[in-house]
Chain A
Amino acid sequence: MELLYSICVGVLVACGIFLILRARSFPIVLGLTMLSYAVNLFLFASGRLWINKAAILSNSTEYADPLPQALVLTAIVIGFAMTAFAVILAIRARADLGNDYVNSQEQPALKTGKRN
């Protein structure tokens, strides 16, 4: 399970970084979302992975580390709010700048493209 879990986190991070490097605002928002999922999974794993231990319930004697769960909960809430802000900002940037390039420069037209 550890291997599967770590591959999952790794793939999410890789996809996130790839999308962020596209330097266009909507792929970046998607990339940030993926990165934050990866981060949440990673944080959850930082309290070790348990198969037969539940969260703290009333009388359970065996339970998983509760602190990472609290951290993940906070991180999810914050990450969600930040992503929402990034989406709104991306929309506003699209409206203000007329395109979704982060550096606001059209890529040079291909030489084989249409003239006039």
Chain B
Amino acid sequence: MSEWIDVGTVDDVPLLGSRVVQAPSGDIAVFKAADGTLFALRDRCPHKGGPLSQGIVHGHSVTCPLHNWVISLASGEAQGADQGCAHRIPLRIEGSRILLAASALMARAA
């Protein structure tokens, strides 16, 4: 298996929005910030497992839809005083394709 897996095109993800990639290791949320930067995180808020893909994207952050934790898209870390990490999934752009790290996709969730 290759190290990177093609999950779709850059245009599949709406600006200031997200899409979900379902993987054996659990759902992964792929976000596109206002400046077009793409990020991938595990689709679970470190607080209570809320689906981050359903949150509002602002700056390079997303606010969890369940209890408004703000998560950094770049690091996965909870912002402000909250503690926890949603875990970043390594992401690469090749042309117009989005590639995610195979290891992160296939590893079964612990």
Do A and B come together as binding partners? Answer: no
